[in-house]
Amino acid sequence: MTIIEKIIATHSKYESVKPGEIVDVELDVRAARDFGGPNVVKHLKENNLGIADVSKTFFTFDTNPTGSDQKYAVNQHLCRTFARDLGIRVFDIDHGIGTHSLIEEGLAYPGSTAVTTDSHANILGAVGAFGQGMGDQDIAVAFNKGKVWFKVPESVKITLHGKRPNGISAKDMVLNLLNKFGANSLLGYSAELYGECVDELTLDERITIASMGTEMGVIILLFPPNQAVLEYCSTRAGREIEGVFADADAVYAQTFDLDVSTFKTMVSMPGKPHDTVDIATQKKQKIDSAFIGSCTNGRIEDMREVAKILKGKHVAPGVVLKIVPSTDAVWQQCLDEGLVRIFKASGTLLSNAGCAGCAAGQVGQNGPGEITISTGNRNFPGKQGKGSVYLASPATVAASAIAGYITTFDDIPNEPAVFKPSENLIKKMAEAHNVEHTAANKPVEIEGRIWVINEDNIDTDMIFHNRYLAITNLAEMGQYTFDNLAGYENFAKQAKAGDIVMVGKNFGSGSSRQQAVDCFISLGIQAVMAESYGAIYERNAINAAFPIVTYKSLESIEIQDGDMIRVNFETGKITNLKNGKSAFAEPFSDVQLEIYTNGGLF
């Protein structure tokens, strides 16, 4: 078996598992964050569900650790009081990013299993653990049963040969991997990384690379733990931890051999994490702001590298540099080692530990027309604000903040770039549109008008932007559907109850937010058809009894925007009522059909 198969098997009732099998997985950790937690509590209370094991159940407040938003404050307090009543541990606003805390606290370790409402929970692959982000319905059931159903993924093996060039950081390595694999060529796979240079990676570097597995579309990037990782995890857990390793005869769906000596310093172009290019093509691009932090690059090694570049220098005039350590322990190390003094002397804004720029509740956001260079893992449109966001390594971001434009740490000018007056166009938000939600029957065959949206990789921020995450009332969600998808900002006004949406590959990539499914239900949309889905989105839709249909090709039936079509969920038959032509998509699996006809996971 592969690593993922071994971990799942040891946490199931089976001695061995194979790709495609659906099994119940016992969870060593089940956690909810401050934006997903309130809905988890709501589901538990409304369905009279208890907690299976409070010692394995946690809340992590990392998306708004500054307590600067009243709605977040309400949600956090709701979770705190629930946790107090039941004896659940809370990693509160003074702790840092939840997934990092799980590693620091010895709760996540090689071979363990964990789920949270964080779509980057697969970061735990850095220590050879199984981590998954899931929606609030899944997490509520995980709190209650201590396990969730999961489909065993196929595995791929990626071997990096050669010597890593000087100056190529772990962030550059993963940006090079994104350049190779894109956002969906490995969609749904578990990827294992091997090679001499991989063995030499520190824990902090492994965390950086594992963090961006979500952006590659993989279920998880798994690192076989080296001796240093095993010793660290054993110390944190307070007992000897043995790693889980693939068998010599493990079966992989695909294998890849890459030459790491060809890797270059890279940046991701605004809007798409996988659109990575050689930094040489973007040098001298003027920036307004810079951000260092996130679950990808908020570790102590990142902070030390940044301090080395900033020491004795100052951020360029008019440029704002924001630094946010990943955990309070890292923040304390920065203080103890004198890094805080260097940061402040350079004109940096230093915030308390947390998710920061990747979440709307802390420093790191930008405004319309603002150009930011960031160490985050996502730069989807609107993710860090209305501006444009480049992704790069901590060294590149620090150097760029000093220069005032994108550059490398070995090419910082003596004099920084200065701003020239310019005007920015600010696009108005679509007007709110309220639609009353009415419960529908659950027919296995539907008919409706089709919306043909010929785009791949439509992420959850395009579907339902993170600025609306505090909304929990389903009736209010529909009006914001697709208002962050270019060309479809007025979708909610023009859509009609009974419509069907047809898109391309990797629909719903990104966040674990349930609202990206519920907004369609709110509008009365009957179904979504796509070539493939983000793993968490697929789960959320199935669990919410919202029909999603997977097709390979429908070219033969010549569907045009506005056509009336018929879809049968049991057979997968799709008929274009305009021309009478039919084709077949994948029929609902037994699990999907059972949940759909039951009206939802609960």
Domain with residue 393: its CATH number is 3.30.499.10
Of 367, 336, 334, the closest CA to residue 350 belongs to: 334
Q: How many domains does the chain have?
A: 3
For residues 78 and 90, is the Cβ–Cβ distance under 8 A?
A: no
Instruction: State pLDDT tens for residues 392-425.
Output: 999 999 999 999 999 999 999 999 988 776 555 3
State which H helix or E strand residue 39 sits in.
helix 37-46
Residues 6+ apart with CB under 8 A from 348: 310, 315, 321, 322, 323
- The answer on 468 and 532 residing in a single domain is yes
Q: What local confidence, expressed as pLDDT, does residue 441 receive?
A: 63
State which H helix or E strand residue 26 sits in.
strand 22-26
Task: For residue 145, count other CB atoms closer than 10 A to its CB.
Answer: 17
Q: The CATH number of the domain where 490 resides is what? A: 3.20.19.10
- The answer on 393 and 336 residing in a single domain is yes
State which H helix or E strand residue 345 sits in.
helix 339-345
Q: What local confidence, expressed as pLDDT, does residue 422 receive?
A: 54
CA dihedral 287, 288, 290, 291 (to 10 degrees): -130
Q: What local confidence, expressed as pLDDT, does residue 121 receive?
A: 93
- The answer on 312 and 243 residing in a single domain is no
- The answer on 193 and 109 residing in a single domain is yes
- Cα→Cα distances 601→115, 148, 238, 416, Å: 17, 11, 37, 56
- The answer on 386 and 476 residing in a single domain is no
Listed residues 245, 262, 279: the one ending a domain: 262
3-state secondary structure (DSSP) of residue 446? strand
Residue 191: inside a domain, yes or no?
yes
Report the distance separating Cα 195 and Cα 226, nearest Å: 12
- The answer on 485 and 470 residing in a single domain is yes
What DSSP character marks residue 465? -
Residue 429: inside a domain, yes or no?
no
- Show the domain range for 160: 3-262
- The answer on 470 and 390 residing in a single domain is no
Q: What local confidence, expressed as pLDDT, does residue 430 receive?
A: 42
Pair of tokens at residue 486 = 């270019």
- The answer on 237 and 128 residing in a single domain is yes
Strand partners, 334: none
Query: Among all chains, which residue has been given the structure tokens 């033969």?
Result: 556
- The answer on 454 and 324 residing in a single domain is no
Q: What local confidence, expressed as pLDDT, does residue 421 receive?
A: 66
Listed residues 209, 228, 262: the one ending a domain: 262
Residues (pLDDT < 50) of the chain are 425-440
Sign of CA dihedral 92, 98, 100, 105: positive
Q: Which amino acid is at 342?
A: I
- The answer on 201 and 189 residing in a single domain is yes
Distance of CA 345 to the CA centre of its chain: 34
Query: Among all chains, which residue has been given the structure tokens 């409402």?
Result: 117
Residue 161: inside a domain, yes or no?
yes
Number of H helices, E strands in the chain: 20, 25
For residues 355 and 63, is the Cβ–Cβ distance under 8 A?
A: yes
Strand arrangement, sheet containing 548-550: 548-550, 527-530, 500-502, 445-452, 564-568, 573-576, 581-584
Query: Among all chains, which residue has been given the structure tokens 């538990």?
Result: 44
Q: What local confidence, expressed as pLDDT, does residue 434 receive?
A: 47
- End-to-end CA distance of the chain, in Å? 33
Q: What local confidence, expressed as pLDDT, does residue 15 receive?
A: 96
Q: What local confidence, expressed as pLDDT, does residue 70 receive?
A: 74
Report the distance separating Cα 510 and Cα 447, nearest Å: 30
Side-chain-side CA neighbours of residue 390 (13 Å): 31
pTM across the whole model: 0.80
Q: What are phi and psi of 460, to 5 degrees?
A: -70, -25
Listed residues 262, 295, 320: the one ending a domain: 262
- The answer on 151 and 134 residing in a single domain is yes
Instruction: State pLDDT tens for residues 281-325.
Output: 999 999 999 999 998 999 999 999 999 999 999 999 999 999 999
Residue 347: inside a domain, yes or no?
yes
Task: For residue 435, count other CB atoms closer than 10 A to its CB.
Answer: 20
Residue 78 burial (CB < 10 Å; 0-12/13-18/19+)?
middle
Residue 432: inside a domain, yes or no?
no
Report the distance separating Cα 57 and Cα 359, nearest Å: 23
What DSSP character marks residue 509? B
- Cα→Cα distances 212→23, 172, 193, 265, Å: 26, 11, 13, 16
Residue 422: inside a domain, yes or no?
no
Residue 428: inside a domain, yes or no?
no
Report the distance separating Cα 170 and Cα 46, nearest Å: 45
3-state helix, strand, coil in the chain (%, to 5): 35, 20, 50
- The answer on 471 and 385 residing in a single domain is no
Residue 413: inside a domain, yes or no?
no
